[in-house]
Structure 1
Amino acid sequence: MIRASLQPTASREYNVIGKSVGERLQALRQQRDMTVPQLSGPELPEEEVKAIERDVRDPDAAELRILAERLDCSPAFLGQGITDRQVAVLYSRTDRAEAALRAGEVRKAGQELARLGAEPALGFLPDLRRRVGYGSALALEAADNRPAAIEQLRTLLEEACSVRAETAAALADTEVELREQRISIALALCRCHCEVGEVQAAVQVGEEALEREEPLGWTDRLVELASTLLAAYIERGDRERMTQFATELLEEADRIRSPRAIVAASWNSAIVAHILGDLLEADHLSNRAMRLQATLDDPLAAGRLRMCMAEYALQHAPEDLDIEKIDRMLTTAYGELTAASAHPSDIASCLLSLARLDLLRGRPDRALDRGLKTVEQGVELVGPVAVEAHQLLAQIYQALGRVEEAVAAQTEAARELERMEALRRASEAWIAVADLYDGAGRPEQGHAALRRALACAAL
């Protein structure tokens, strides 16, 4: 990636810092013994160069890059007098902030990224500005401020998809970097929408990104984006679409033969196989994903993958379950997640799965204790993890014969699914509420729950 072109010598550099854009342009042109006609061209006529030098108007980003290239300096230097050394410092600070975020130092990383975002020089460094904005959004997500992260990611994605960004990238020969940034931003936005239960918004972001990026060719990152979209289809309960899409995704991952892509595709495709009851395929895909993940240096992803595979085995294959194996997987995953400073919702989900395992072992009291502690001590639960918590508590209360509390928990799950617009799953959840009411001898409330189920099904 090109960060900045060569600047003038240090002595001359001093002479243009603190001046206006026009004054810097004129000074640099004269230092290079260039005339206005030599500096101008078809895309920037002579009269426009003169107008910029007189400060009659400011150049836009594309014009600034053209002029900077002809003057053999960086756009940041021409636009604001920012030197190569200052630009290098900004990149170094960004590198350190990203490293802190990866290490789980969320507050430290977020504060530094916020300070970087306020640097005026970023206006002339669009690739670095997007990096800083993306990192800041990830810090907000990790700090459980997903609404703010979503708002920031939306703004970033709109800018990264603009003609202005594409033009600037073409002039700087950074189209590949821009595309990777664009895919990463869309992936994070799709994931955040899904995490807060806005499943339909997640699907829309993922589908629009895939439609935009697929014609340019598949990459590791694009497969990861598509796998995130597949997760949104799973949360929406769209069996037909998720089945077809999982097959297509595996084919693309196998075609590009990248371990990272194959892990991403196999991960959620194994979940689809679990849901469809194809346990042999689910086992094959999950083992394949974990085997390849072990070759990649990413403990957080390894922990999430291990937890995810154990969770779906618990939910969709309880009859053939190797309880001790699942216990080992979840215990290992919990250690990996906590060591990697995973998001609290990931850790909560892992603990809820351990509570589910207690229930399967015939220990409902222990399951309830673990489940309630997870809910009380964890972050405010929303989206998929909230549904998971409420449905599990409903099952535990039912096993304990505490029907009223089971109804209340299952009702919360159904309402959360409605809020998520996962209407097929919401309909199933309301049917479960109706069954609980019928078992308690309360047919009127059961009929009301069935009407809610029918309304969701119709929508």
Structure 2
Amino acid sequence: MTTTDLVGLRIKTVRRQRGLSQAQLAHPELSDSYVSLIESGKRTPTPAVLELLAQKLDCSLSYLINGVTAEQMEDIELALGYARLALENGEVAEARTRYTELLANNNLTGLTALRQDTEFGLALATQAGGDLDGAIAILLRLREEELSAERRIEIAINLCRSYRESERLTEAVEVAERILNASARPAWNDLLVELGGSLLAAYMERGDLLRARQFAAELLNAADALGTPRSLVAANWMASNTAASTGHAAESVSFAERAMAVQLEHGQPRSVAIMRMALIQRRFKAWPSEAAAARDAMRQAFVEHEQTSTSTIDRARVLVELAVAEAMTGELDEAVEHAKTGKSMLPQSGSALGAEADLLLGRIYGAVGRAEEARQHVASVHDSLAPLPDSRRSAATWYATAETMEQLGDSDGAVDAYQRALACAGL
């Protein structure tokens, strides 16, 4: 049924409940034939006529338009606000529960915009909780509906991110290019630059480094022309990622610092916390001799993460990176604790970050002579990587795993890991 049909049906239902005929409802301002056409969905009443009919029927205008009373509408909007607040505060499970309860509310059925807001919020909460397949399913279903241009781009951004986190890189690229390469694409704006940033990340992980460098320059030009904080942060951060992936460490840090400067002035605490940790990581990789300073900075940044609304995956990533810095400075007990905690927050299989945590644990245990535990963790790398599609990240992890297996005396396992690394690299 169309919106006009539903409005007409509600008018007809309330009129009959009030014991009125069409003529009685119409008199004296309207004709009974006009009321009949409205009730049958053949005429769309103007706002003034709707307000008049609501007064004559002694019901709320909100009910005639949306199928709910003003009080019910207020309750729905309040519940949606609480769900959003829970998600912003990092209470992911709470947010997911609230969004799910809202979708079960029958009063939401006819409220298309609010129902779409709720479904999109549920997708974000599901994504933040690490259930990427669940988030993808919600976003794909929502994408098939009639949406505003802004919501369609937001869905594409989060679909691209979820596919990328799942190592489904071809699908990540297709989702973003479907909008960015469209002939009728609008002029650059903040959302499109963010979508471009997600696409750029997928290019890099897929190994399209030349395309990534070219597209990074295009995004920087677009952001500089817009001059908005949101676009400048997104474009400079992705330029930093691209420079890091192509071996330009100092350039990577320069772009990251520019993005951080804008983020500190305009960003939310969650975004600042994520970027601060990533900037420390950039500096650590550019100047590994300063590992102790990086470790101390990461410890402080981890506290900031715990105090803000970062997602489960964000916190897991911080813990694994902190473990790497601690291992490099000889703080092996702390490195093991943080790597294990980070890994426990991730799926048991199909996680590149989980594989990196296991590999780190395998190397630490191997270094202190606990060979059996080392072998167990290195073997677990297979469980995390095997379900994932081929990517540069997986290739690098397989290669590092092969080297570790050689050190542990597992020649057959090392050969298999080298072969998987070559396959991931397309060789």
Find the aligned partners of 1:228 and 1:78 in 2 and give their Cα distance: 42
Q: CA deviation at 1:293?
A: 0.6
Asked whether the 8 Å contact 1:103–1:341 carries over to 2, the reply is yes
- The match for 2:100 is 114
Q: Does 1:280 align with 2:247?
A: no
Q: Which amino acid aligns with 1:296?
A: H
Please give the residue correspondences for 1:424-439 in structure 2 after superposition, counting only pairs within 5 Å: 424-439=392-407
Partner of 1:223: 193
Task: Report whether the alignment pairs 1:268 with 2:264.
Answer: no
- Check if 1:361 corresponds to 2:357: no
Partner in structure 2 of residue 139 of structure 1: 125
1:199 corresponds in structure 2 to 169
- CA drift of 1:113 comes to 2.4
1:258-317 Cα distance to aligned partner (Å, 9 max, x none)? 111111122222122122222221121111111111112411111111112223443x33
Q: What is the distance in 2 between the residues matched to 1:409 and 1:237?
A: 27
Alpha-carbon shift at residue 143 of structure 1 (Å) = 3.5
Deviation at 1:211, TM superposition (A): 3.0
What amino acid maps onto 2:286 in structure 1? A
Q: 1:450 to 1:100 in 2, by over 3 A?
A: closer
Residue 30, structure 1, aligned to residue 40, structure 2:
no
List gaps (5 residues or longer) in structure 2: 52-59
Helix, strand or coil: the match of 1:215? coil
Letter in 1 for 2:82: R
Stretch moving more, 27-36 or 268-277: 27-36
2:67 aligned with 1:97: no
Q: Give the corresponding residue for 1:317.
A: 286
Identify the match of residue 347 of structure 2 among 376, 380, 396.
380
**Alpha-carbon spacing, 1:86–1:303, altered in 2? closer, same or farther (3 Å):** same
Cα displacement (A) at 1:436: 3.8
In structure 2, what is the Cα distance between the partners aligned to 1:215 and 1:391? 43
Cα distance in structure 2, aligned partners of 1:350 and 1:261: 25
Counterpart of 1:45 in structure 2 is none
Query: What secondary structure does 2:309 align onto?
Result: coil
**Further displaced range: 439-448 or 359-368:** 439-448
Tell me how many residue pairs correspond in the alignment. 410
Deviation at 1:338, TM superposition (A): 1.0
Q: Matches of residues 231-310 of structure 1 in structure 2 within 5 Å?
A: 231-310=201-280
Match status 1:209 vs 2:179: yes
CA shift at 1:257, angstroms? Answer: 0.4
Q: Is the 8 A contact 2:240 2:253 kept in 1?
A: yes
SS at match of 1:277: coil
Cα distance 1:400–1:26, how it changes in 2: closer, same or farther (>3 A)? farther
SS at match of 1:288: helix
Q: What CA distance in whole angstroms lies between the structure 1 residues aligned with 2:83 and 2:100?
A: 10
1:368 shift after superposition: 2.7
Give 1:318 deviation, angstroms: 4.6
- Describe the SS at the equivalent of 1:386: helix
Report if the CA contact (8 A) 2:378-2:401 is conserved. yes
Question: Mind listing any 5+ residue stretches in structure 1 that lack a counterpart?
Answer: 9-13, 40-48, 160-164, 167-177
Q: Indicate whether 1:346 and 2:314 are aligned.
A: yes
CA separation in 2, counterparts of 1:144 and 1:32?
A: 61
Question: Deviation digits for residues 400-431 of structure 1, max 9, x if unmatched?
Answer: 45566556545544664453313344344433
Identical pairs, percent: 31
Matches within 5 A, 1:166-177: none
Change (3 A) 1:431 1:355: closer
Deviation, 1:348, is 1.9
* Compared CA separation, residues 222 and 33, structure 1 to 2 (3 A): same
Residue 151 (structure 1) aligns with = 137
Residue 36 of structure 1 deviates from its aligned partner by: 8.1
Matched, 1:127 2:113: yes
SS for the counterpart of 1:216 is coil
1:172 maps to which residue? Answer: none
State the match for 2:55 in structure 1.
Answer: none
Distance 1:439 1:264, change over 3 A: same
> Is the Cα–Cα contact under 8 Å of residues 113 and 132 in structure 1 kept in the other structure?
yes
Work out whether residues 323 and 336 of structure 2, in 8 Å CA contact, stay in contact via their aligned partners in 1: yes
Amino acid at match of 2:258: R
2:391 is the alignment partner of 1:423: yes
